[in-house]
Chains A and B, each alone.
Chain A
Amino acid sequence: MISRLRQSVPAYLFLLPWLIGVLGLTIGPMLLSLYYSFTDYALLNTPEWTGLHNYTALFQDSRYLHSLRVTFIYVGVSVPLEMAFALAVAVLLNRGLKGLAVYRALYYVPSLLGGSVAIALLWQQIFGSDGLLNDVLGIFGIHGRGWISEPGTALWTLILLRVWQFGAPMVIFLAGLRQIPDEVLEAAEVDGAGRWQRFWRVTLPLLSPVVFFNLVLQIIGAFQAFTPAFVISGGKGGPSDSTLFYTLYLYQQAFGNFRMGYAAAMAWVLLLIIAVFTGLNFVLGRTWVFYGDEGVRR
């Protein structure tokens, strides 16, 4: 026993930096926020216990419900588009292109930059009414509009910004495509399968675990999107609340209106929503994700 203890102590010592991080920076604050979500906490006072009040108030708050709707549209449209785009580019790049590494890096760069303040500001310059897009449209005689300053189009510029960051899932798709054995594809070709058939019947099923992985990650990431909406709308979620993301409304309540308890409740509901979507993904995934070991399991 003692010797075993001796064995495990160094292990925990090595784990210590990580443990401090997890306990102090993740679990501690999470538990505290769970507590705040049941209180009236105005950031400057001591929290007062109010039970479930924050949670029930959420569903009578029309701006909250609106922010949910905006976020669902954002996730629902941007994730499939981004995935499709990433997959398409990955398939193209996988066809033995010369200078693959260069293209791969080039397409990946937006993913690194996309969440940043600088890119959000750049987006403002492109889609403003005196912006680059309208200059280009002007060449063709099309009279543009203030894409960001109109409620009908503002959210779509943010969706576009997300799709533009397709590099991260693309790199993962590319790695996945590399894993698909050439023999299988050749065998399919010998059997007379065309290009589309090979893609739908062979490539995609073999790639499905990677698709699944990307889908889960992208949905979670999209629900948590904050920076672009914050920067592009100047923290307001405007015009006319059309880009009021869930996280942005949460931030406004917490730091603008001193409703930290309410914001904490919002955060936990968001966690729940993401958990439900991820769970749903895993359940549905059983019907279409093919791990290649199904035969063995049976």
Chain B
Amino acid sequence: MNTFSRRTLLGLGAATAAAITVPGCSGKSGPMRVSWYGPDPVTKALNKALDAWKSSGGAEYSAESAPFDDYWDKLATQTSGNNAPDVLRMSMSYFSDYAGRSALKDLGSLGIDTSGLDKDVAASGVADGKNYGVGQSSISYSMYVDEGAIKNAGGTVPAQGWTWDKFAEFARDYSGSVQGAFGSSDQAGNFQLFEVYARQHGTEMFSDDGGKLLTTKETVQEWFQYWADLRNAKAAPPQNVSGETTGIEKSLIATGKAPLQFGWVQQVTFYQPLVKSPLTVLPVPQGKAGDLTGQFVKGLDLWCISAASKHPEDAAKLIGFLLNDEKAIKAIGILLGVPPSKKARDLVSADAGSAGARAIKYVEDLAGKVGPSPKPWPKGYGELLTGFDRIAENIGFGKSTPAAGAQEFVDLAGKTLGQ
């Protein structure tokens, strides 16, 4: 009885294993899948552009979308399960992680029409001589300023933005004159704003091969100290307030508790509906007045095709459509960033006076004044992005100091980069 039952069991086990592995291998077929991250307005716009694709006779597709943070958990799981979407939105923050691990297709032979695109943007997905993605937009860092609120408080807004020193002075004055408000939200944990600050100190943030942090510990410490001073002066909110004001709706500018907000230029269109007066788009503070070389204009979001895609031709056609078709361009507007071609910018900025038109003008004005674009952000960037924020938070709660935090960040970069 025993031997038989055991053997039967083994046989069944083997059969089961076979039954499980066989369907596991076949993978999914079905229509092409398109996936992106972004808040609700982005999803609405892309669905509209995809409707245009369908009505112009494009191939069948199914669409997926998620907020930025969740998107990456999902994409990592899908990719490792050989089940990544065919067309996917890729952020520069994770580009090297995916491209460097052969998860993206080389677009070289797929014939996507990028002839109308700005050269910088068309090339932003090039890594190791291969083109793994096409830029969706060209963007730059910026601040959105509620000039009306500042004038009411008796302040002025310089046309080119502030220097860091003048900005601190302004923030102190503003919070002194408006009861219960702060001159600025706390940006200590904003790694992307810090990159501009770091470039203003004379070096790129990362070495060209992405293996090392070039920014010094002293610069990081100075940055943490700058915001600690603003918090101490009550010009920026205390850490527990910052923790509750991270979403767009809850942000200090949306609730009228700060007159400005930092972010990528296209995000002004997410904030504008929540603020009554029009938001002015300005360069971020500078080391020397008017010197904008710390900033850069770059395609930081890309359309990519996953290496495992079963519909590469359709996927390539769809990407070409989203970049070049008039209806698609109009549907997307500025929600993915400033459009990457002259034709698209003219189509979108026709709506003069909109936040979108102001964002486009901002990027066009910046061109020629900004510094050279950095290389694609290195592998492990995502970890540094969250780590920087965490360290800043520890300092904000008094659990660390700017000096100790700077050391912690340098150590983290040493451990994470060049793996």
Contact = CB atoms under 8 A, between A and B. Distances in A.
Contacts of A260: 80
Interface in A1-45: 1, 4-5, 8-9, 12, 16, 19-20, 23-24, 28, 42-45
B5 interface: yes
B268 to A, nearest CB: 23
A84 B9 CA distance: 45
A146 B12 CA distance: 57
B354 interface: no
B9 A256 contact: no
A149 B243 CA distance: 6
Interface string A144-188: 011011110000000000000000000000000000000000000
Interface stretch (A89-97, A99-107, A232-240): A232-240
Nearest to A239: B243
Contacts of B1: 1, 4, 8
Contacts of A145: 240
B240 A239 contact: yes
Interface stretch (B16-24, B136-144, B321-329, B335-343): B16-24
Contact of A20 (B20, B69, B240, B382): B20
Contacts of A241: 390, 394
Interface string B230-254: 0000000001110110100000000
A20 B19 contact: yes
B16 A20 contact: yes
B308 to A, nearest CB: 11
B194 interface: no
A255 B80 CA distance: 11
B98 interface: yes
Interface residues of A, number: 37
B219 interface: no
Given A8-B5, A238-B393, A257 B383 contact: yes
A256 B73 contact: yes
Contact of B243 (A4, A19, A238, A256): A238
A148 to B, nearest CB: 8
Contact of A234 (B69, B77, B79, B103): B69
Contacts of B12: 12, 16, 19
B8 A24 contact: no
Given A20-B20, A239-B393, A255 B73 contact: yes
A258 B379 CA distance: 10
A1 B5 CA distance: 10
A129 B243 CA distance: 11
B97 interface: yes
Contacts of A209: none
Contact of A44 (B73, B103, B241): B103
Nearest to A233: B243
B399 interface: yes
Contacts of B390: 236, 238, 240-241
A185 B9 CA distance: 51
Contacts of B76: 43-44, 255, 258
Given A9-B8, A239-B397, A256-B72, A45 B101 contact: yes
Interface string B134-160: 000000000000000000000000000
B13 interface: yes
Contacts of A8: 1, 4-5, 8
B216 interface: no
Contact of A12 (B9, B17, B72): B9
Nearest to A24: B20
B397 A240 contact: yes
Contact of B240 (A1, A5, A129, A257): A129
A229 to B, nearest CB: 15
A273 B102 CA distance: 37
B386 A1 contact: no
A5 B11 CA distance: 13
B103 A239 contact: no
Nearest to B242: A149
A44 B240 contact: no
Interface in A252-292: 252, 255-258, 260
A128 interface: yes
Contacts of A45: 101-102
A151 B77 CA distance: 31
Given A23-B16, A241-B390, A149 B244 contact: yes
A20 B12 CA distance: 9
A23 B17 contact: yes
A12 B9 CA distance: 7
B16 A151 contact: no
A28 B396 CA distance: 45
Given A5-B4, A5-B8, A236-B386, A149 B240 contact: yes
A240 B399 contact: yes
Nearest to B243: A149
Contacts of A12: 8-9, 12
A234 B390 CA distance: 13
Contacts of A149: 240-241, 243-244
Interface in A123-156: 128-129, 145-146, 148-151
B243 A44 contact: no
Given A4-B1, A5-B4, A28-B20, A129 B244 contact: yes
Nearest to A44: B101
Contacts of A43: 76-77, 79-80
Interface string B379-390: 010110010001
Contacts of A23: 13, 16-17, 20
B275 to A, nearest CB: 20
A148 B241 CA distance: 11
A130 to B, nearest CB: 8
21 contacts: A1-B4, A5-B8, A8-B8, A9-B8, A16-B16, A19-B12, A19-B16, A20-B19, A20-B20, A23-B13, A42-B101, A44-B76, A44-B98, A44-B101, A146-B244, A150-B243, A239-B393, A239-B397, A240-B239, A252-B386, A256-B72
Given A235-B69, A255-B77, A256-B382, 13 more contacts: A4-B1, A8-B4, A19-B16, A24-B16, A43-B76, A43-B79, A44-B98, A45-B102, A146-B240, A150-B397, A241-B394, A255-B72, A256-B73
